[in-house]
Amino acid sequence: MDRQAGPRAILEGLKAAGITLIATLPDENLTELLKLVEADRESIHVPLCREEEGIGICAGATLVGKKTAIIMQNGGFLNSCNALTTTALQFQIPLLLLIYYAGDIGDRGFATVGTVTEPVLHALGIRTYLLRRMEEIKETVHQAQVLAWDANRPVALLLTKDVLGTRG
Amino acid sequence: MKRYECLEAIAGEVGDALAVTTAGATTLEWNRFRPSDGNLMCKTLGLVSSISLGIALGLPQRKVLALDGDGALLMNLCALPTIAWRRPPNFIHIVFDNGIYESSGARATATSAGADLVEIARGAGYPHATWTTTVDEFRKEVQAALGRYALSLIGAKVEPGRCPVPPLELDEVENKYRFIRYIERSEGMKILTRPLPASYRRAPLG
């Protein structure tokens, strides 16, 4: 199995969507995707220390014409909830959230964060799409960005190990 | 010195620099002294520096002022190494340190016990970071930062105290749209243009 096929498709989806600024914070399961983002010379890469600042960075860049995405773990999504509420939602700023789904089925050690992830996204009113099948990756990433800009809100994609090439 | 005296002193110096203001009195005072659609208020305590970084990276040809406070910066200290890592030369970070959370109950912040935000910025990798203690010194440091084209942080040790301000005439969403339209006008960009409906793209008109 080509473990980079999923991460490549995610990056292709981001490019198809016109995204040119990507903020990231690592997770072991995001490693291949982050290597591709770091190597990409066409977009601005902003490595973060904490996810909440990434919401601010993406929001600021969006206001001056960039299309932006943030790649993080779901624990980091929980870190970013105040910024999502009082910056992204309050100012109606579109953002694309690519969230590694720790605590997904088959995972060990992250069931608590896995359990609260989707309810918190729903409580924030953030439309959420779960990516499990390789053939849907590129188009879903692209179309989620279209939805974010049409709705003037963040949209979330939950990245499973299946699409990150780290299952098994 | 007072924060509003500092803001008044630089309002005429910053030209068409974009300005992002931290949640609280700084937003109201800056908009009194420099009313502009190039002003953006921040409503998430601490996020002003990060929003400003996004603007500075997205629009490298424009000067960006982050008007930050001690309580806000302490809440988002990790912004400093992130900003220093990217080191945008068009980013000017101004921090008013009054030692208290003035807009939320006036209780003490950690700087009142000695935390030094300029030293922390230097340690995070800011190439220029300096304290100022008089309005004249502050104005000169801001002028120098505007002229040097390198990431700079200017700390202002201020006494607590607010000045009379008019109420803001806009909410966050209108602020967003006015700010974006201002960028579109002043940079000759199109940011909010929506695609034509599909029917216009599929068939010729007439």
Domains of chain A: which residue ranges? 5-164
Please list the residues that pair with A95 across neighbouring strands: A154
Residue A155 · residue A127 · CB < 8 Å: yes
Interface test with A, best of B22, B73, B82, B194 (most A CBs within 10 A): B82
**CB distance A21–B189 less than 8 Å?**
no
Give the number of A-B residue pairs with CB atoms closer than 8 Å: 116
pLDDT of A1 above 70: no
Within 10 Å of residue A81's Cβ, how many Cβ atoms? 17
Within 10 Å of residue A92's Cβ, how many Cβ atoms? 13
What whole-number distance in Å separates Cα of residue A30 and Cα of residue A4?
A: 11
Nearest Cα to B8, choosing from B101, B102, B93, B135?
B135
* Dihedral-angle region of residue A21 (phi above 0 means left; psi in -120 to 50 means alpha; beta otherwise): beta
**CB distance B189–A65 less than 8 Å?**
yes
What whole-number distance in Å separates Cα of residue A89 and Cα of residue B91?
A: 25
Residue B76 · residue A88 · CB < 8 Å: no
What whole-number distance in Å separates Cα of residue A79 and Cα of residue A144?
A: 22
pLDDT of B206 above 80: no
CA angle (B71 as vertex; B67, B74 as ends), nearest 5: 95
**CB distance A65–B47 less than 8 Å?**
no
Average pLDDT along chain B: 96
The ipTM of this complex is: 0.98
User: In whole angstroms, what separates CA A21 from the centre of its chain?
Assistant: 12
Quote the tokens at residue A111: 């069931």
Architecture of the domain made up of A5-164: 3-Layer(aba) Sandwich (3.40)
Considering only residues 50 to 109 of chain A, which have any Cβ-Cβ distance to chain B shorter than 8 Å?
A: 50, 52-66, 68, 82-83, 86-87, 90-93
What whole-number distance in Å separates Cα of residue A165 and Cα of residue A135?
A: 13
B183 burial via Cβ count (<10 Å: 0-12, 13-18, 19+): buried
pLDDT at position A146: 97
Instruction: Average the pLDDT over each of A71-75, A112-116, B63-67, B193-197 and give the range with the smallest value.
Output: B193-197
* pLDDT band with cut points at 50, 70 and 90 for residue B199: confident
Q: Which residue has the higher pLDDT, B124 or B206?
A: B124
CA angle (B112 as vertex; A79, B92 as ends), nearest 5: 65
Give per-residue pLDDT as tens, A110-135: 999 999 999 999 999 999 999 999 99
Average pLDDT along chain A: 97
Quote the tokens at residue B63: 């000067």
Question: By CA distance, what is B23's nearest residue in A?
Answer: A86
In one-letter notation, the amino acid at residue A116 is V
pLDDT at position A29: 98
pLDDT at position A168: 81
Give per-residue pLDDT as tens, B72-88: 999 999 999 999 999 99
CATH number of this structure's domain B3-202: 3.40.50.970
| Min Cα–Cα distance to chain B from A53, Å | 6
Domain extent listing, chain B: 3-202
pLDDT at position B143: 98
Quote the tokens at residue B85: 């890592």
